[in-house]
Structure 1
Amino acid sequence: MKITLKRPAERINRNVPYRIYLNGKKLTELKNGEEKELELDSVGELCAKISWCGSKSLSDLKEGDVVEVNGRVFYNRVLPFLPAIVPLLSVFAFMDGVGDFWKNVMLLLMTLLLIGLVVAISVFRKKWIKMRRI
C-alpha cells in the first residue's frame, strides 16, 4: 500500500525533522517542506514525533492516502515564549510599593502559568504535531 506524506514548509521546527512511526517502528524522517511516498507492508497506526512530543495516531489508512504533517501554531509559536513571562511577573510581584493584593495576584498568575506549561509538555504532548488526511 502506498501513501504520501507531506510536510509543508513552515517556520515552526524548521531545523528538526519529524520522525514517522508505523506501529511503534520508525519508518522515515520528514524534513521541512519535504514530500515522501511510502510503501507500507502492513496496515496500522501512523504517528509523528519530535523530541518527547508528537502527534495522535492516524489509523485506517488506505491506498493513495495523502497525509499532511505539520506543527500546531499554539504549541510551537506561543508556548516557547510563555516562560519569559514568569521573571517579569516575579519582578512586579516583589517590587517595593506593590500592595499585598497585587503580589498575591502576580503569584497566582505565575503558579497558573507554570502549571499550564507542565500540563502542555506532559499531558498534551501528543498534540504538538498535527497529522491529517487531505
Structure 2
Amino acid sequence: MKIAIGNDHAGPDYKKAIAEKLQSLGHEVINFGTDTPQAVDYADFAHPVANAVANKEADFGITICGSGNGISMAANKHQQIRSAVCWTKEIAFLARSHNDANILSIPARFTSIPQAVEMVEVFLATEFEGGRHALRISKIPCM
C-alpha cells in the first residue's frame, strides 16, 4: 500500500516512528510533513495528503498535529476525504469499519508514539463493513 503522511511541528517524531513501522511492513510512505519542531501551519501539510488520497496516488493518509483537529478539518475540505481524529485503537477501528475513513488524524499532544503506531496498524488492517454504514456514508455530500 501507499500511505501519504503529513504533519506539523507537533508530529515529526510521530511521523518518523510511523513511517519506519509502515516501511517495515512493506508499505510505501509518501512524506508531506515537516521534519523539524519549528512552528508551521498544519493546513500546508493536510492539503497534499488529502490530494494524494483523493487522486488515488495514495491508498490512505495519516495526518498529525497537536490536537488532530485542525489538520483533519483542512483535509476534510477535499472531495472524497473522510478524515477521522482518533486517540485510541478502538476509535481507529470504528473510523474504518463504520465510517470508511481514508485519513487517520492523530493528536500528538494527547497520544503516545506507541499508541499512534498501534492506531495506524489497526486503521490499515480494518475493512469497511458497508451495509447500513454505506447508507450513512452516502448521506455525507461531496462538494
TM-score by length of 1: 0.28
Greater share of helix: 2
TM-score (norm 2): 0.27
**Structure with the higher fraction of residues in strand conformation:** 1
